């Protein structure tokens, strides 16, 4: 049986931080040898208020018509910052009931830090960074306990920005119990996690945490590049599958109308 390759974290020009059409992203996915791509543009209703889904659906339908059956296309969203107002997030999800997939993500620190974006973290000392990571994990736990999404996005995201923007190399070592509590809440709610291949950089999360999730009984896991340009579509998806196999997984997931579909590794 031939391997199946899918990228389940991609952003098109519907996202405010990307500028490429869905059609271009889909064509790049085909050239990268992918069988399936899911578009997961940002939706952060607690920050933006109302959110018009019409442009998202229109872009997707145009892309589906243009691509035909050359590649499987799925439509999802990356739902950010839901803990700021779960009621608003739930209202928006009801309006997006036809989607295949929802990534639940946290991109900011809590009110204690003025809701500072992880991207703009400025602390470089280890103690200060660890306090920020602890703060971030409290929000992730709240999100996991809420559980109205498909998978948790890029669990160890603060490490990306500490490394890329500040040159600070940190780990989540020492946060084993908070992470385990997050995983238990996700599993109880029928949610999964993603292995974010981080555009070919350090995977988010890494091997230690992937093993912990599996050891706790986690099975639902997707792979996504977090591509915001055609250059990164499908990046390190094959390597990510090998990492999952090394961690003891036998399958990964895609989604159909919010339901996981398992594919052997």
Average pLDDT over residues 237-252: 98
Q: Does the CA dihedral 188-194-195-196 come out positive or negative?
A: negative
Q: How confident is the model at residue 159 (pLDDT cuts 50, 70, 90)?
A: very high
pLDDT at res. 163: 92
pLDDT at res. 51: 75
pLDDT in tens, 176-229: 999 999 999 999 999 999 999 999 999 999 999 999 999 999 999 999 999 999
pLDDT in tens, 74-83: 999 999 999 9
Of 15, 59, 4, which Cα lies nearest the Cα of 226? Answer: 15
Of 141, 132, 194, which Cα lies nearest the Cα of 166? Answer: 132
Residue keyed to tokens 């946290």: 106
- Report the chain's mean pLDDT, rounded to a whole number: 95
Separation between Cα atoms, residue 153 and residue 76, nearest integer Å? 13
pLDDT in tens, 125-156: 999 999 999 999 999 999 999 999 999 999 99
Neighbour-count burial for 182-201, b at 16+ CB within 10 Å, e otherwise:
bbbbbbeeebbbbbbbbbee
Separation between Cα atoms, residue 232 and residue 226, nearest integer Å? 8
Q: How confident is the model at residue 124 (pLDDT cuts 50, 70, 90)?
A: confident
Separation between Cα atoms, residue 205 and residue 194, nearest integer Å? 8
Alpha carbon separation from 139 to 82, 104, 176, 203, 260 (Å, rounded)? 9, 11, 16, 21, 25
Separation between Cα atoms, residue 244 and residue 204, nearest integer Å? 12
According to DSSP H, which parts of the chain are helical? 22-31, 45-48, 54-67, 86-95, 126-146, 157-166, 176-188, 207-215, 237-246
pLDDT in tens, 55-95: 999 999 999 999 999 999 999 999 999 999 999 999 999 99
Q: What is the pTM of this model?
A: 0.97
Contact 107, 114 (CB under 8 A): no
Give CATH for domain 79-264: 3.20.20.140
Contact 156, 190 (CB under 8 A): no
């Amino acid at each position: 049986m031939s391997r199946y390759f899918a990228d389940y974290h991609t952003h098109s020009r519907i996202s405010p931080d990307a500028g490429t059409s869905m059609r271009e992203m889909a064509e790049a996915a085909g050239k990268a040898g992918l069988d399936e791509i899911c578009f997961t543009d940002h939706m952060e209703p607690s920050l933006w208020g109302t959110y018009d889904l019409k442009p998202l659906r229109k872009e997707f339908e145009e892309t589906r018509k243009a691509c035909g059956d050359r590649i499987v296309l799925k439509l999802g969203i990356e739902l950010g910052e839901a803990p700021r107002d779960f009621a608003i997030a739930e209202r928006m999800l009801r309006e997006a009931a036809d989607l295949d997939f929802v990534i639940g993500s946290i991109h900011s620190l809590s009110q204690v830090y003025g809701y500072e974006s992880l991207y703009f973290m400025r602390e470089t000392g280890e103690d200060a960074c660890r306090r920020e990571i602890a703060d971030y994990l409290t929000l992730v736990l709240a999100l996991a306990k809420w559980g109205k999404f498909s998978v948790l996005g890029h669990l160890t995201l603060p490490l990306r920005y500490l490394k890329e923007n500040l040159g600070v190399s940190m780990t989540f070592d020492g946060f084993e119990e908070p992470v385990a509590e997050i995983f238990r809440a996700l599993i109880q709610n029928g949610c999964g996690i993603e292995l974010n291949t981080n555009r070919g950089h350090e995977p988010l999360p890494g091997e230690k945490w992937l093993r912990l999730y599996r050891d706790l009984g986690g099975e639902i896991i997707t792979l996504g590049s977090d591509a915001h340009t055609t250059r990164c579509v499908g990046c390190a998806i094959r390597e990510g599958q090998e990492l999952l196999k090394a961690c003891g997984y036998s399958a990964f997931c895609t989604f159909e109308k919010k339901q996981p579909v398992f594919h052997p590794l």
